[in-house]
Structure 1
């Protein structure tokens, strides 16, 4: 394989990788806001407890950690 072809293939792989991670980042970001809305709605309806709030907040924190990780992977790969 020529150097040109290898470079094109690497660029293609890079773009696919970045697209996939960007999609994942967007989905996680949307999920975070969905859970925040659910938590708010449950609280407004009086259907929540401290334990439920704690569980939802724990999931939100996990998602935020995954968002940071994905964002770092995108940034690192783009360098």
Structure 2
């Protein structure tokens, strides 16, 4: 009876390679990682709304109100 090769056997035969390793030349010099304009919490809310499929909005609450409301909130 012959031996059947399974997935694990096939994977073991594959050469190990780092998928992040590229065959490009390294870049020398400064790199600018900043965006053309700042990302705001409203931008995050808009993205979350789009991804989640429901409206999520940014709400600004006064510090004193937030502290006062924190005492009345119960977490389930």
TM-score range, shorter chain: under 0.3
More helix by share: 1
With the length of structure 1 as denominator, give the TM-score of the two structures. 0.20
- The answer to which structure, 1 or 2, has the higher relative contact order (CA under 8 A, 6+ apart) is 1
Q: Highest Rg: 1 or 2?
A: 2
With the length of structure 2 as denominator, give the TM-score of the two structures. 0.21
